[in-house]
Structure 1
Amino acid sequence: MLFLHRIPAMSGLVLALGLTGCATPQQRCIAGATAEYHTLQAQIKTAETNIARGYALHRQSIPITNTRVCYDSNKKPYTCHRTAFRQIETPVSIDIGNEKAKLASLKKKLATAQRKAVAGTKTCRQTYPE
């Protein structure tokens, strides 16, 4: 159980390396073995935040098109459009009772996921020693 406090920090590294394609087989294995655990942790944090705040946040990306002057290869100006995206958050009402029930359910699942993550990590280290 001494290893448990290292799971979140290590998975961030594993995920970052995995996204760049540089992860070792052991790191990819550990990322897979701990994925459920980290997903539950994130869901618990979200539920706790929603309960404390009293509402949830809906996030969406809004496109914003800007007109500007661009230049061709001959340095001749022309009008061009550039689309950027802005993230907005909108408050959404929640049923606090349902959110608390969901939180309790997630916390129940967390202990099992944690045991699986530890066992899976141990197996990964044995299967892919570095």
Structure 2
Amino acid sequence: MPRNTFLAMLSLPVALAACGTPEERCISRNTHEYRAVNNLLSEVEANLARGYAWGERAVETDRLTQCRGYYTGPDGVYGVYYRPCYVDSVDIVRYRIPIDPAAEQRKRDNLLERRQKLAAPAQAAVQACKAAYPE
């Protein structure tokens, strides 16, 4: 086995241990859908409160900056110089998206119903994980 592969395999348990306790990993794994529905619900409720949704897009621009260059002088000494240059820059820009309030309310109602259906299994999973991995 190559040395780098062996070292990577040695560090794997350390990396996994950094992701939380076994109980936390169990709870996270078994309540993923419930948490996703909660996140979507909070986003929809925020959209309804604001009256619009947020969108994001990447905008590419050129940015003027200083670029470094190197030269060798006539006496063989190296030097550094700076010159203005353009570099590509990507910025994330947020923009407003109009929403249909009736559609957002239907979405909210469906998410509330889905969350209610997922609440009991999620609670049971949390209790099972706490029983399986007491801290």
Question: Radius of gyration: which is bigger?
Answer: 2
Give the match for residue 55 of structure 1. 52
Contact 1:51 1:99 in 2 (8 A): yes
Contact 2:30 2:122 in 1 (8 A): yes
Structure 1: tracts of 5 or more residues without a match: 1-17
2:107 pairs with 1:109: no
Contact 1:71 1:77 in 2 (8 A): yes
Distance in 1 of aligned mates of 2:18 and 2:87: 30
Match for residue 37 of structure 1 among 34, 37, 48: 34
Give the match for residue 77 of structure 1. 81
Q: Higher helix fraction: Structure 1 or Structure 2?
A: 1
Q: Give the RMSD, CA atoms, in angstroms.
A: 2.9
Shift of the alpha carbon at 1:116? Answer: 1.8
Give the match for residue 94 of structure 2. 89
Give the match for residue 46 of structure 1. 43
2:126 pairs with 1:121: yes
Q: Secondary structure of the equivalent of 1:70? A: strand
TM-score, normalised to structure 1, is 0.68
Q: Structure 1 vs Structure 2: percent identity of aligned residues?
A: 28
Query: How many residues are paired up?
Result: 112
CA 1:68–1:26 in structure 2 vs 1: closer, same or farther (change >3 Å)? same
1:51-98, CA deviations, whole angstroms, 9 ceiling, x for partnerless residues? 1222211122334553323367x6623567665543311111221111
Distance in 1 of aligned mates of 2:119 and 2:22: 21
Letter in 2 for 1:123: A
Give the match for residue 3 of structure 2. none
Shift of the alpha carbon at 1:38? Answer: 1.7
Structure 2: tracts of 5 or more residues without a match: 1-14, 71-77
Q: Secondary structure of the equivalent of 2:134? A: coil
Q: Secondary structure of the equivalent of 2:45? A: helix
Q: Higher strand fraction: Structure 1 or Structure 2?
A: 2
